[in-house]
Amino acid sequence: MASVKVTSQDVARRAGVSQPTVSRVFTPGVKVSSAMEAKVRRAAEELGYRPNTLARSLITGQSMTIGLIVAYFDNPFYVEALEKLSRALKDKGYNIMIFMAANHAGDVDQVVQDLLDHQVDGIILASVSTSSDLTARLNEEGVPLILFNRGHSDKSLSAVTSANRAGGAKVAEFLLAGGHERMAHISGWQGASTGRDRCDGFVSALQAKGKEPLAVVDGLFSREAAAAATRSFFSAAETPDAIFVGNDHTAFAVLEVLRGELGLDVGQDVSVIGYDDVAMSAWPSFDLTTVRQPANRMVDAVVAQLIAQIEGRATEPRQIEIDGPLIVRGSARKPEGWVE
Residue ranges binding its own copies (CB under 8 A):
1-5, 48, 50-55, 57-58, 61, 63, 65, 72-73, 76, 79-80, 82-83, 86-87, 90, 95-100, 113-114, 116-119, 137, 139-143, 252-253, 255-256, 260, 283-286, 315
Closer Cβ to its own copies, 146 or 253, answer by number: 253
Rounded to whole angstroms, how far apart are CA atoms 236 and 316?
Answer: 50
Q: 287 pairs with which residues across the strands?
A: none
Per partner kind, with CB cut-offs from 5 to 8 A, the member of DNA, its own copies, none near residue 142 is its own copies
Site for DNA in 33-92 (CB under 7 A): 33, 35-36, 49, 51-52, 55-56, 58-60
CA distances from 176 to 105, 210, 212, 255, 336 (A): 39, 11, 11, 20, 11
Distant-in-sequence, close-in-space partners of 242: CB < 8 Å, separation ≥ 6: 175, 178, 180, 182, 183, 184, 270, 271, 272, 273, 332, 333
Closer Cβ to its own copies, 294 or 330, answer by number: 330
| Minimum distance of DNA from residue 107's CB (angstroms) | 24
| Minimum distance of its own copies from residue 44's CB (angstroms) | 13
Query: Which one of 4-12, 90-98, 144-152, 193-201 is the stretch in contact with DNA (CB under 7 A)?
Result: 4-12
DSSP 206-219: HHHTT---SEEEE-
Q: Does 21 bind DNA (CB under 7 A)?
A: yes
Per partner kind, with CB cut-offs from 5 to 8 A, the member of its own copies, DNA, none near residue 146 is none
Rounded to whole angstroms, how far apart are CA atoms 258 and 260?
Answer: 6
| Minimum distance of DNA from residue 53's CB (angstroms) | 8
Rounded to whole angstroms, how far apart are CA atoms 104 and 283?
Answer: 33
DSSP 280-325: GGGSTTT--EEEE--HHHHHHHHHHHHHHHHTTS--S--EEEE---
Q: Does 20 bind DNA (CB under 7 A)?
A: yes
C-beta separation of 236 from 225 below 8 A: no
Rounded to whole angstroms, how far apart are CA atoms 302 and 84?
Answer: 11
| Minimum distance of DNA from residue 158's CB (angstroms) | 26
Rounded to whole angstroms, how far apart are CA atoms 249 and 264?
Answer: 20
Query: Which one of 14-22, 106-114, 271-279, 284-292 is the stretch in contact with DNA (CB under 7 A)?
Result: 14-22
Residues that bind DNA (CB under 7 A): 5, 7-9, 17-21, 23-24, 26-27, 31-33, 35-36, 49, 51-52, 55-56, 58-60
